[in-house]
Structure 1
């Protein structure tokens, strides 16, 4: 039988820089650096120009990547938002906390969709027994600030209940209740002028906090609602990207069906592009404030996203190609993210690292960079990436995912293990598995489980051992599943939904298009 191979990825710095780099790193560690953690919502790995998009424009976010370390195989811990966000706060896998779906999703018998399985119950708030990232920095004397999307619980489990001194905009909802233009209808943030654009407001609030607290160490956690639906931007930005889209060859079709749902194959949505630019402008506000105040050399900056871009389901606004799938789905497009760390006196500015890393790792990494004692009983599933930042290696490990739910974007109940370059996906509907070699097939087009059955069996055992260790919950048979209705639904997707999608998304590039709910009518002073 053909021999399986394990390939270890690594970061390789230029040796001539290494001694100076380690000296600079040691000097930086003696200081008490500020932390700016920037989290995008639903931003795909390919949604930035630094990652290869030739349609979206993101110069300020690109700057973070180009002046820090860019991890090409950085992952979220889940293909939907709340679980990934919980991991960033705790350093734990979602399954260990039982936060396995976006908070508010139906569970058990409350699940009304016609699916073969019923999703299990899950926890609806961040556990108070955990020490969060904010609490760890608060205990170390930092002033802590949160702005934007929270989605980790209701009253009693808001940012201010988990270590943030200031909370602007963080509450139980996963999308902006009033849309992206003021009035926002956000119980944790005052409305701005009529037509104020939400990402700009969040950037301004974060910049204002930094200026006010510039003399003492701070943790500023800027958690954008962008680019989550509703997909809304200003008329000026829509027009800019509409012209950009029609100046190049226009796709005859934008969607294809991948197993269960239509998936976008093209990046040409001018509304979404405008949302990316507006978020990038807000990031620029924060970076410029740090520069102007002379804080750049005393600040660690992180940028990442909570799950893959929405190529299917709510919005169908972007494409994650060449990666397969997107938000809510079990393939690389659903879990691989922009993953950047920039810090003062960077030992290896502009380096690219190919080691697989995951959202759990930010917690111990930031503690070590800030010279704060690690909390190994808390961030049990994360490892410090400081060795990688210094051009060294970390111990080889497997990464895991568990999503026992159906995604709004076509995702199926499944669990995943990645070991080296091997990725095994196990599905709960029919107990089948898929095996991919990500080194030769990052697009996950060749399921080679039949070629390496022994390897697949070994990985399945490893995955099950991990699921047992974290106490994972599982979906179970839906007694009301209607196979005939399910087949009719598949026909409707092909014959009705697909043509309508093509028509609706083509219309976004017509010069007389206008939003159906008239949000441009309330846009005002903000671009």
Structure 2
């Protein structure tokens, strides 16, 4: 067993200090232990890429990647905003399994507009969770994360050996995309250095350091989360380009372009080191995009909503020789599926990963048929509106109110807890979720109600029902009218 020394930031010495730690390296045959790369862009919308249909954003490197792997057109985040989605992805468990439902407090919005008392929220993934990183660590992988973590104070406590830039923070802060930085566990670069560039350079250094051994590279860019800050030269470029259909912000397009450029740099390094063939690579987003910034037409709404625009995300998986280049699928998947898929392809025998709720997707890679399963979301909390006129959410005050969702086949049912009401949509005919069929398709509605109720009972999902004594219906109606008339 060899010993490799790796530079890593220590939370005890704060972000500007580095220490050397000795890590045992277990060498496996490259054919049986592929490298794992997971690129997770923050708030990147389903249609914010060239290969997903955007005519405004320019993503040549990601378009090339899509042509080398499999594109999933019905890929979902397990939650509609940052922390719960990441907690689901890293734990392989749905929100009731870890209790992370939102970011910070579950009592969002004005108290007088909340009809019930929401379920309390857990800020961080419990330490007892056997994360994807812990599983890979126990199977001989060296794990590095470079960017946004957001599900505890330090990813080194959740199975990573190396951490640059990851902590509880959910965004880089005001002005934070250029050095000097405002995030944790990172040294400032030259003044004006761009954070997306820096994280990629750190990730590339990690790959070069560990090229002889199986590694797990998690690259969760802070981009394209607010504050919207692109490089000036790219903003000027997109200022000269015509946009449309809700995709026309030059500063946001500049951020997307920088992500694309840096993914291209990483892919070039994999090629130069001859690692591409033995690297299983996932590219995705943690949730839907913010509709006030970029429309995802024909999908409704955006980040924070459980309509399609808030949870449908871009997804490409590449594994040369195992996944047919240029393949596509409409098979519905979620980011909870990554964990069991990776566990399967590395042939891990790990007792701690027995409670995974996702699905091993590896049969799809060989074009085998798989039986579609229902997908569930549970959000027993409130999330207030960004822009009432743009959000396309439940109502002008909230992107979503407490409820659960199930998708089975082409049918999708929303259950809202405040009034025990339902919305039913045929996604095949109505991906924009505009025509509520709950009163017309009662047999399908009732089947899905029973399915959703049974799932909630099986996972012990909390369903809040206590009335909020502060709720004021007249105040709520006045505020709705005020928002609509602004």
> Could you state the TM-score of these two structures normalised by the residue count of structure 2?
0.87
Give the one of 431, 445, 466 matched to 1:456.
445
Q: Where do residues 89-168 of structure 1 align in structure 2 (5 Å cutoff)?
A: 89-102=90-103, 104=104, 106-107=105-106, 112=111, 114-154=113-153, 158-168=154-164
Q: Is the 8 A contact 2:345 2:362 kept in 1?
A: yes
Give the one of 348, 356, 373 matched to 1:372.
348
Distance in 2, Cα, partners of 1:482 & 1:271: 40
Deviations 1:200-249 (A, max 9, x none): 1111111111111111110000001111111111221111111103xx6x
Q: Is the 8 A contact 1:405 1:413 kept in 2?
A: yes
Residue 422, structure 1, aligned to residue 411, structure 2: yes
Deviations 1:274-305 (A, max 9, x none): 11111111111111111111111111110111
**Structure 1 residue ranges, 4+ long, deviating more than 4 angstroms after superposition:** 108-113, 374-377
Give the one of 260, 269, 281 matched to 1:280.
260
Q: Is the 8 A contact 2:114 2:471 kept in 1?
A: yes
The alpha-carbon deviation at position 112 of structure 1 amounts to: 4.6
Residue 170, structure 1, aligned to residue 150, structure 2: no
- 5+ residue gaps, structure 1: 1-27, 252-264, 497-527
The alpha-carbon deviation at position 29 of structure 1 amounts to: 8.7
Q: Is the 8 A contact 2:31 2:278 kept in 1?
A: no
The alpha-carbon deviation at position 375 of structure 1 amounts to: 5.3
The alpha-carbon deviation at position 100 of structure 1 amounts to: 1.2
The alpha-carbon deviation at position 376 of structure 1 amounts to: 8.0
Q: Where do residues 43-442 of structure 1 align in structure 2 (5 Å cutoff)?
A: 43-102=44-103, 104=104, 106-107=105-106, 112=111, 114-154=113-153, 158-178=154-174, 179-245=176-242, 266-311=246-291, 316-373=292-349, 377-409=353-385, 410-442=399-431
Deviations 1:348-390 (A, max 9, x none): 1111011111111101111222232365853521111010111
Distance in 2, Cα, partners of 1:108 & 1:238: 37
Superposition RMSD in Å: 1.9
Deviations 1:298-341 (A, max 9, x none): 11110111110101xxxx21111111111111111111111111
Q: Is the 8 A contact 1:60 1:283 kept in 2?
A: yes
Q: What corresponds to 1:479 in structure 2?
A: 469
Distance in 1, Cα, partners of 2:173 & 2:227: 10
Deviates more, 1:167-176 or 1:87-96: 87-96
Match of 2:163, SS state, is: strand
How many residues matched? 443
Q: 1:373 to 1:335 in 2, by over 3 A?
A: same
Q: 1:372 to 1:113 in 2, by over 3 A?
A: farther
- 5+ residue gaps, structure 2: 1-28, 386-398
Match of 1:352, SS state, is: strand
Distance in 1, Cα, partners of 2:82 & 2:476: 27
Q: Does 1 or 2 have the higher relative contact order (CA < 8 Å, sep 6+)?
A: 1
Distance in 2, Cα, partners of 1:85 & 1:242: 33
Q: What corresponds to 2:478 in structure 1?
A: 488
The alpha-carbon deviation at position 434 of structure 1 amounts to: 0.8
Distance in 2, Cα, partners of 1:446 & 1:111: 29
Deviations 1:467-515 (A, max 9, x none): 122121234422112223322322332332xxxxxxxxxxxxxxxxxxx
Q: 1:182 to 1:120 in 2, by over 3 A?
A: same
Distance in 2, Cα, partners of 1:163 & 1:376: 13
Match of 2:241, SS state, is: helix
Q: 1:120 to 1:110 in 2, by over 3 A?
A: farther
Q: What corresponds to 2:5 in structure 1?
A: none
Match of 1:205, SS state, is: helix
Match of 1:65, SS state, is: helix
Distance in 2, Cα, partners of 1:64 & 1:365: 20
